[in-house]
Structure 1
């Protein structure tokens, strides 16, 4: 990822002059140029960059020898001073990647939990997946295809994406109910009373470009159709989902029905409705991080939504992306 794109990302995240910004970098020294580019871009805005690197190899060595007295509250209080966090990962965060004794791993686990409890209290927390070979492995895409798609998605006019998101959000302000039409005769109704639409245009989960809301959990009803449906590493075609009382009750595919029958109640709840707004994501590929940002698509999710205005706490959050038409009853 070149410096021009990094600079665009930093500005879109909301970094401003005089702020203290933590670059929380997940990667080895071989990839540290990425962190350096973010440090430089932050400084260019007039803000102060501070680097915290999470290297798997270094963390392994540290926590093989770390004692209970290490990383006390005085250490974690250092992270209450930042205005924002740029969580930049060259590979999957948190995973240590090495086997260590259970008591040492428990110390590492507690360290991460306490660290994130402080970082999540900052005014802004932006997650940035870097287009690397390591991240490509997680996506399920061909590595070069992944890198090209991600770099294209990042290289957008962030101000234009924000404006498109704002206009889409304004359409739904004060609307208590919407209808999603898909396929030939499928309709899914969502109750939205007292829920808030959110914009992701660079200050949340990148690549960005969506508006989303937590619908009232027990009031989503109807059917929804997906031309392509990705679940648990498998692609299904021409999928119909049946939803009642806000829960997935069945599907036109027995395998999908069986999957949800095995899930706890909280993982069946329709927890999100969103619309993609990134013009540089131009086709679905099965990688949700990109697919849900594609212009002209909708996505629904099942699972947790208590982190963005809902009431459903769950261990899972799974998105499904499709094409359809959204209607506001009474809209001309």
Structure 2
């Protein structure tokens, strides 16, 4: 990822002159130049950057010897002063990657939990995955394919994307119901009454490019056809999912029917309806972070939606991406 792309990302996140911005970097010293590039981009916009590095090797050494008295409220209070957080990760965050004694691991988990609680209180929190070999491993894609796809998804006109997302949301103004036609004879109906659309155009989870909403949880009805569906690292083709009273209840694949029937009710609830808006994501690859942003697609999700206006609390949030015709009912 080059400096020009990083500068576009930082600007799209909303950083402005006079702000105090935390660059919260998950990575080793070998990747620290990435963090430095984000610091430079923040300063260029007239804001003050502060770097906190979460290195697995350094955290291991710290928490091998940390005591109960370490990291009290005074430490975490320091994070309440930031206007924005850029959570940048060169590898999967939180994971320590080393074995330490249980009591020391408990201290580390408590530290991370309290840290994120404070960071999420900030008015802007942006997560940015860096195209690295380590993140490619987590994605399930080959390293070079992952890096290519991610760099393409990041290299967009963010202002144009924001405007396109706003226009798309405006097209749903006053719309209470949406029907989605897929395959030869599948249609699903979503009730959006008193629910609100959200825009992901650079100030949330990157790569970005979608609008999404939490439909009323008990009202989704019908069937949806997916030419390709990915679940638990497996790829299925020509899949139909049937939905009754908001729950996925059946599929033309017995293995998928069993998967959903084995889930608790809250994990079967259709919790999200979204539309991909990123023009540089041009094909599905099985990596949801990219797939759900693909322009010309829609996606649904099952599981939790209480974090974006819904009422369903669940232990999962799984997206499925498809193509179809969207019909609005005012």
Which interval holds the TM-score relative to the shorter structure? over 0.9
Aligned match of 1:291: 291
Aligned match of 1:146: 146
Mean alpha-carbon deviation: is it higher for 258-267 or for 127-136?
258-267
Whether 1:55 aligns to 2:49 is no
Aligned match of 1:89: 89
Whether 1:219 aligns to 2:219 is yes
Aligned match of 1:238: 238
Q: Structure 1 CA distance, aligned partners of 2:265 and 2:71?
A: 38
CA contact (8 A) 2:214 2:271 kept: yes
Aligned length: 330
Q: Report the Cα offset of residue 254 of structure 1.
A: 0.6
Correspondence list, 1:1-332, <5 A? 1-329=1-329
Q: Report the Cα offset of residue 173 of structure 1.
A: 1.7
SS at match of 2:62: helix
SS at match of 2:255: helix
Q: Report the Cα offset of residue 329 of structure 1.
A: 2.3
Q: Structure 2 CA distance, aligned partners of 1:84 and 1:265?
A: 36
SS at match of 1:15: coil
Cα deviation, 1:19-61, whole Å, max 9, x if unaligned, reads 0101010000000000000000000000010011000010011
Cα deviation, 1:78-105, whole Å, max 9, x if unaligned, reads 0000011000000000001111111111
Q: Structure 2 CA distance, aligned partners of 1:263 and 1:55?
A: 36
CA contact (8 A) 2:281 2:293 kept: yes
Cα deviation, 1:266-286, whole Å, max 9, x if unaligned, reads 110100000000000011111
Q: Considering only aligned residues, what root-mean-square deviation do their CA atoms show, in Å?
A: 0.6
SS at match of 2:105: helix
Cα deviation, 1:223-278, whole Å, max 9, x if unaligned, reads 00000000000000000001011000011001111111111111101000000000
Q: Structure 1 CA distance, aligned partners of 2:78 and 2:224?
A: 48
CA contact (8 A) 2:176 2:329 kept: no
Q: Structure 2 CA distance, aligned partners of 1:113 and 1:175?
A: 39
Please report the TM-score for the alignment, with normalisation by the length of structure 1.
0.99
**5+ long unaligned stretches in structure 2:** none
Please report the TM-score for the alignment, with normalisation by the length of structure 2.
0.99
Q: Structure 1 CA distance, aligned partners of 2:76 and 2:174?
A: 41
Q: Structure 2 CA distance, aligned partners of 1:42 and 1:103?
A: 38
Q: Report the Cα offset of residue 142 of structure 1.
A: 1.0
Q: Structure 2 CA distance, aligned partners of 1:63 and 1:262?
A: 39
